[in-house]
Structure 1
Amino acid sequence: MQAILDKIAEKAGSDLVTLLAETLTGSELNSLLLEVFDRKTASMRPADLLRQYAINRFVQPSDTDVIQLRTKELAVLQLLQALNFTPLELSPVSLLGTSSVLGSVDQKKIISATRGTEVLSDATNAMAIHIASQQQLHSQAFSSFCTTHRHIRTPPVKVKGHSAHFTIACCVSAGTDTGNYNFETTAITTHFTAIQRILKEIFDIDVQYFKLQPRAGYKNSEQLLETITRHLKDSHPIQVDTTVSPNAYYQGIQYKAVITHQGNDIEIADGGFVNWTQKLLQNKKARFFISGLGIEYLSRIL
């Protein structure tokens, strides 16, 4: 990457990256990029598109059974709605910086676009911004939302059955700290129950256990883990990985939902507490819990 940037800077005769990133205003950069892309496409021919299609993994369709996947998506949303999650239909793009500013994800892993947008790579980030913009957290009310969305990410695929773009069921719960970890225990119980029911009732597979992983960045993390473990032990199968890991993404607790398929343990869902609404609303009492479930991957392997 740096070699390419150096080559471009040499051609331009200046520090082009600094000029574009720090000197131009957002509207100036957007106008420039629109003109650049307009000129680039003006010289392209249909044969060029076909050649690019053969080598660009981001634009090729998934090989999943689309009817089965859509049927499962609808069933998941209907079940979640019955469990008091409000379904949302998100835009295919989110604000530029949605993943890197909130989730500390490298922007190079995201497909950035013009007009202040990026291709949506994580629906939970976008839902956090939507909820904060609607001032859902200005009261102490507990609220939950869900969606199914096709995500796209740029890092090379390393796991068989994974692809550059994929559909995930995403759930979030928002609220305010009212003491005694009331939000935390309610949110994690709500999500674990939803995941168990989705897997059992829609995919006919059981959760073997939920793995709780302590994470830094949460006040009294040990007490949080102890409270949640005690709260869940009689209602959900849990295991605790006591290795504390610094994590810029999750705060306090991260979890994995583990299933067994053909003798192999698979981490099919992932989630935890994040501080995104705290940042967005500048309110230390704001609380947010997220979950992502790989429903396309499930449809493929089952």
Structure 2
Amino acid sequence: MEDFISKKTDRKTGIPNLVQLLRGQISSSELSSLLLEVYQQKSEDIQPAALLQQYRQNIYVQPADTDMIDMLEKELQLLRFLRQQQYEPVELSPVAQFGSCAAVGTVSQKKIITALRHTEVLADATNSLALHIADLKQRGIATAPGERLRFCTVHRHIRAMQLPSGKGYTPHFKIACMVAAGKDTGNFDFELTTCAEQMKHIYYLLHTLFNITDIYFKIQPRSGYKNGRALTDALMNYLSSHLPYKIISDDAPAENNYYKGIQFKAVVQLDGNEIEIADGGFVDWTQQLLGNNKERCFISGIGLSLLMKLS
């Protein structure tokens, strides 16, 4: 697709390798200024009737189909609960730093709505929270040595990708997120305790806010983590002795390079169907951002919009 677009652009402009020239010959600031001018001029050509027609055809700009007041009430209860559990709520910007998903994760920039001024529309709040944590740590204004940083948020995400089949999926949606960060202290202590902690909070929220009683968790091994098999075994043993929930091991999950070492999923029974409504796991983003393999980061998210529609 990229090669097709490049060739088409070259043909229409008469400038060979235009995409590569724009990438390599001008700075990001210059490119941003150029595109700002192009879009300024194109906006002057838009007529109101055409604007309305474009609005009707653009799936990314349509309002959400959830009860706004009910959603806000749920968000407030959720954030108050997580703050009581030492997860500090953060009001994130509607845009993220350009490359927030692609630079440290495995997400293609084509799945992100790229904006100007070195930004992109926020597609994953956990990436932005990890950046916030790395910034605090690098500037030396984080917590005391050995103490963990915990943040949470509820944010509307939007992703430019093919939607999954089934009821309730839309291009933009609310997700409740938790991110915890700390340092490796040996014996998988951070990974085990943080995974159990976030699973416990997710179970409570699903049960209390949405009155869901049929809930269980799946633990899935992932690549990219030294001693990953030992981590999975240690986690299953730890969870079985610390959490009273049904927890199963899924040793042959579908391919996923987003998480490292371990991933968990919360599965609920709604209207006779099993729905994977929340997930989480270990990521190496703070390791990459700070250049320190001792850094540890664990994230999770709950699909609030989907829950509101299905429960």
TM bucket, shorter chain: over 0.9
The answer for the alignment partner of 2:217 in structure 1 is 210
Kindly state the Cα deviation for residue 244 of structure 1 after the two structures are TM-superposed. 6.5
Query: C-alpha distance in 1, partners of 2:127/2:178?
Result: 11
Q: Is the 8 A contact 2:278 2:301 kept in 1?
A: yes
Kindly state the Cα deviation for residue 139 of structure 1 after the two structures are TM-superposed. 2.7
User: Aligned match of 2:154 in 123, 126, 148?
Assistant: 148
Q: Is the partner of 2:39 in helix, strand or coil?
A: helix
Letter in 1 for 2:4: A
Kindly state the Cα deviation for residue 137 of structure 1 after the two structures are TM-superposed. 7.7
* 1:168 lines up with 2:175 in the alignment: yes
* 1:157 lines up with 2:155 in the alignment: no
Q: 1:245 to 1:292 in 2, by over 3 A?
A: same
Kindly state the Cα deviation for residue 240 of structure 1 after the two structures are TM-superposed. 0.2
Residues 183-218 of structure 1, C-alpha deviation per residue, up to 9 Å, x if partnerless? 111111110110011011111113521100000111
Kindly state the Cα deviation for residue 243 of structure 1 after the two structures are TM-superposed. 2.0
The answer for the alignment partner of 1:227 in structure 2 is 234
TM, length-normalised to structure 1: 0.97
Letter in 1 for 2:55: Y
Length, aligned pairs only: 302
Percent of residue pairs identical: 47
Q: Is the partner of 1:134 in helix, strand or coil?
A: helix
The answer for the alignment partner of 1:43 in structure 2 is 45
Query: C-alpha distance in 1, partners of 2:267/2:214?
Result: 6
Q: Is the 8 A contact 2:280 2:299 kept in 1?
A: yes
Query: C-alpha distance in 1, partners of 2:255/2:4?
Result: 32
* 1:282 lines up with 2:281 in the alignment: no
Letter in 2 for 1:285: K
The answer for the alignment partner of 1:200 in structure 2 is 207
The answer for the alignment partner of 1:104 in structure 2 is 106
Kindly state the Cα deviation for residue 267 of structure 1 after the two structures are TM-superposed. 0.3
User: Aligned match of 1:80 in 74, 79, 82?
Assistant: 82
Residues 33-72 of structure 1, C-alpha deviation per residue, up to 9 Å, x if partnerless? 0000001001111111101001000001011111111111
Q: Is the partner of 1:131 in helix, strand or coil?
A: helix
Q: Is the 8 A contact 1:255 1:270 kept in 2?
A: yes
Query: C-alpha distance in 2, partners of 1:259/1:100?
Result: 30
User: Aligned match of 2:301 in 287, 292, 301?
Assistant: 292
Q: Which moved more, 1:123-132 or 1:43-52?
A: 43-52
* 1:179 lines up with 2:180 in the alignment: no
Unaligned runs of 5+ in 2: none
TM, length-normalised to structure 2: 0.94
Letter in 2 for 1:254: Q
User: Aligned match of 2:92 in 90, 93, 101?
Assistant: 90
Residues 138-186 of structure 1, C-alpha deviation per residue, up to 9 Å, x if partnerless? 8321221100000000112223211000000000110000011111111
Q: Is the partner of 2:102 in helix, strand or coil?
A: helix
Query: C-alpha distance in 2, partners of 1:228/1:81?
Result: 25
Query: C-alpha distance in 1, partners of 2:184/2:302?
Result: 26
Kindly state the Cα deviation for residue 249 of structure 1 after the two structures are TM-superposed. 1.2
Letter in 2 for 1:167: K
Unaligned runs of 5+ in 1: none
Query: C-alpha distance in 2, partners of 1:129/1:143?
Result: 12
Q: Is the 8 A contact 1:111 1:118 kept in 2?
A: yes
The answer for the alignment partner of 1:63 in structure 2 is 65
* 1:119 lines up with 2:137 in the alignment: no
Letter in 2 for 1:132: A
Q: Is the partner of 1:133 in helix, strand or coil?
A: helix
Query: C-alpha distance in 1, partners of 2:229/2:115?
Result: 41
Query: C-alpha distance in 2, partners of 1:25/1:129?
Result: 23
Q: Which moved more, 1:271-280 or 1:225-234?
A: 225-234
Letter in 1 for 2:304: I
Q: Which moved more, 1:263-272 or 1:4-13?
A: 4-13
Residues 113-154 of structure 1, C-alpha deviation per residue, up to 9 Å, x if partnerless? 111000000000010000000014883212211000000001
Query: C-alpha distance in 1, partners of 2:104/2:144?
Result: 20
Q: 1:160 to 1:246 in 2, by over 3 A?
A: closer
Letter in 2 for 1:256: K
User: Aligned match of 1:239 in 237, 248, 254?
Assistant: 248
Kindly state the Cα deviation for residue 10 of structure 1 after the two structures are TM-superposed. 1.0
Query: C-alpha distance in 1, partners of 2:136/2:58?
Result: 38
Query: C-alpha distance in 2, partners of 1:211/1:182?
Result: 20
Query: C-alpha distance in 1, partners of 2:211/2:288?
Result: 39
